[in-house]
Structure 1
Amino acid sequence: MSVLDRDDLTVFWETSEDMSSLQVSPQSVITSPPYWDLKDYRHDDQIGVSDESYEHYLDRLDAVWSECYDALDESGTMWVVVDTVMDRGDLRLLPYHIAQRAEEIGFTLQDMVVWHKPTAIAGMTARNTVNKKEYVVYLSKSEEHKFNELGSDENGVEDPAIEEGKPLGNLWRFPVKRGSVGNQVLHKAPYPMSLINRIVRVSTDEGDTVLDPFLGSGTTAYSALDLGRRCVGYEINQDFESVMEDRLSDLSQSTLDNAWQ
């Protein structure tokens, strides 16, 4: 087992289908899983490859969600950023299937947040509408889970989730900005930092630990560390290490000074 282990960041370069190596109880799980038969992350044991059935794909995700459930603090939550997928012209309601199976594991479904992506330009097929949304499946381990008042946020008045004096709504507007990470060959589905920042703020306090079982290019890690949290991640493809190194290099926390040496 290969592992990066520092004060505020631990990365296990192995599958999250078995997280017996995890020694902490995270307050929040924040992740976006690999899609089924859509994106190739260049690893023989990756979840979602084209030669496995949709049901087997969901079964493998169940193994990850079960590990997350067992690891989470009793007041913890899990946030899964995911969208529907096309299967030979048929629409698969992946967010709802994940929610249903997570409830069978023991999670409580709190909401299906809609992430509005106003800058999206591509449809799922040539004979379909342009897809300008994804979902954030919001689950909790118990009814008495942590959920913080939002306070200050990076979004402005264009975000329909924000209304002065009112609780946070479940329609979130976060444009997708194409940048250096979006151009990385390895990572084909980065999510915006502002989206993850919001989830980190509402689901954790400073000093809490965030777990990402599909760490990818390290967006969750960057957000967690930048906001004073700790992060534990699992990533099966160690080729992402250089991407993470580049992304985290500008963080000012002293705990990261020697993280990549």
Structure 2
Amino acid sequence: MSLDKFSNLEVKWQSSEDMSDVESGTAQAVITSPPYWDLKDYGHENQIGTADESYEIYHDRLQGVWEECYQTLSEDGTMWIVVDTVMGRGDMRLLPYHIIERAEEVGFIPQDIVTWYKPTAIAGMTDRNVVNKKEYVLYLSKSQNHKFNQDIEHDNGNEDPAISEGQKLGNLWRFPVKRGTAGQNVLHKAPYPRSLIERIVRLSTDEGDVVLDPFLGSGTTAYVALDLARSCIGYEINSEFKEVIDERLSELKQSSLAEF
């Protein structure tokens, strides 16, 4: 069963540096994890972040994507970017902060930097560093009056330091990365867990809203959006991920058929 069988999913196999075919104000939330600079090769010669680009050019291209995201978002929309610091050619790059700076130039308003605690992580950035147990979730909005569903149910358990009984959700989130997050196909090197994206989708959207992922990758954002009765628009420059995404969404297809 092909991806076009989902009426509420649209995948565009092209660079998100041009999203002019999406009507302005369509998306309620952008949820994504961009390719890292000079670190991971996702298998396409025109991908953002390959080793033959400077760090400045990398951010120039990403800023082009943020500009497109800004245009696609509704006035009360938000953008959530999962990203970490990186070691680039011997130096630590404060990637989250540089992305925020560029997003601000576009017009986004920074709301918070959530720390995603990954207790199961086992690798450091280099052999001479401590084990990296975190990533960041950059939370930005198009306006101050943006949608934020603070009263959603939080189902990550009492071990999540963000959750305190009777208190608002905090900005330290515990979501373990489990083996097999992207199924058996390991083409995509940096999948994030569904539970992390579920929290963001519930916080930033309502049923029927549109979620946009400009770097769709293995399709986690699409899976969660569809599973929670949202629509999804995804951009992915590498069409080899079609099989990966189809595999991930097969559970939803089977569930839909069973319900029918």
- Asked if these proteins are the same fold (TM beyond 0.5), I'd say yes
Q: CA deviation at 1:250?
A: 1.3
State the partner residue of 1:51. Answer: 52
Q: Please say if residues 181 and 192 of structure 2, whose CA atoms lie closer than 8 Å, have aligned partners that are also in contact.
A: no
Number of aligned residue pairs: 254
Q: CA deviation at 1:150?
A: 4.2
Amino acid at match of 1:75: D
Deviations 1:192-227 (A, max 9, x none): 000000000000000000000000010000000000
In structure 2, distance between residues paired with 1:180 and 1:216:
13
In structure 2, distance between residues paired with 1:40 and 1:183:
19
State the partner residue of 1:32. Answer: 33
State the partner residue of 1:181. Answer: 182
State the partner residue of 1:78. Answer: 79
Q: Please say if residues 9 and 230 of structure 1, whose CA atoms lie closer than 8 Å, have aligned partners that are also in contact.
A: yes
User: Which stretch of structure 1 is more off in the superposition, 156-165 or 244-253?
Assistant: 244-253
Cα gap change, 1:110 to 1:5, in 2 (>3 Å): farther
SS at 1:79 equivalent? strand
Question: What is the CA RMSD across the aligned residues, in angstroms?
Answer: 1.7
Deviations 1:108-135 (A, max 9, x none): 0000000000111111111111110000
In structure 1, distance between residues paired with 2:156 and 2:178:
14
State the partner residue of 2:11. Answer: 11
State the partner residue of 1:111. Answer: 112
In structure 2, distance between residues paired with 1:148 and 1:110:
14
State the partner residue of 2:130. Answer: 129
SS at 1:81 equivalent? strand
Q: CA deviation at 1:154?
A: 2.6
Q: CA deviation at 1:25?
A: 0.9
Q: CA deviation at 1:4?
A: 4.7
SS at 2:251 equivalent? coil
Q: CA deviation at 1:72?
A: 0.2
Give me the TM-score of the superposition, normalised by structure 2. Answer: 0.94
In structure 1, distance between residues paired with 2:161 and 2:94:
24
Amino acid at match of 1:111: D
Q: CA deviation at 1:151?
A: 2.7
Give me the TM-score of the superposition, normalised by structure 1. Answer: 0.93
- Please list, as runs of the form range in 1=range in 2, the aligned pairs for 1:99-178 lying within 5 A after superposition: 99-178=100-179
Cα gap change, 1:38 to 1:150, in 2 (>3 Å): farther
Q: Please say if residues 182 and 190 of structure 1, whose CA atoms lie closer than 8 Å, have aligned partners that are also in contact.
A: no
SS at 2:81 equivalent? strand
Amino acid at match of 2:218: S
In structure 1, distance between residues paired with 2:6 and 2:181:
26
Amino acid at match of 2:195: S
Q: Please say if residues 214 and 234 of structure 1, whose CA atoms lie closer than 8 Å, have aligned partners that are also in contact.
A: yes
Amino acid at match of 2:210: T
State the partner residue of 2:21. Answer: 21
Deviations 1:11-48 (A, max 9, x none): 00000000011136100000000011111111111000
User: Which stretch of structure 1 is more off in the superposition, 158-167 or 179-188?
Assistant: 179-188
What is the identity percentage for the equivalent residue pairs of Structure 1 and Structure 2?
68
Q: Please say if residues 154 and 163 of structure 2, whose CA atoms lie closer than 8 Å, have aligned partners that are also in contact.
A: no
Q: Please say if residues 4 and 12 of structure 1, whose CA atoms lie closer than 8 Å, have aligned partners that are also in contact.
A: no
Q: Please say if residues 182 and 188 of structure 1, whose CA atoms lie closer than 8 Å, have aligned partners that are also in contact.
A: no
Deviations 1:124-163 (A, max 9, x none): 1111111100000000000000000243233000001001
2:62 matches 1:61: yes
SS at 2:64 equivalent? helix
User: Which stretch of structure 1 is more off in the superposition, 18-27 or 7-16?
Assistant: 18-27
Cα gap change, 1:19 to 1:37, in 2 (>3 Å): same
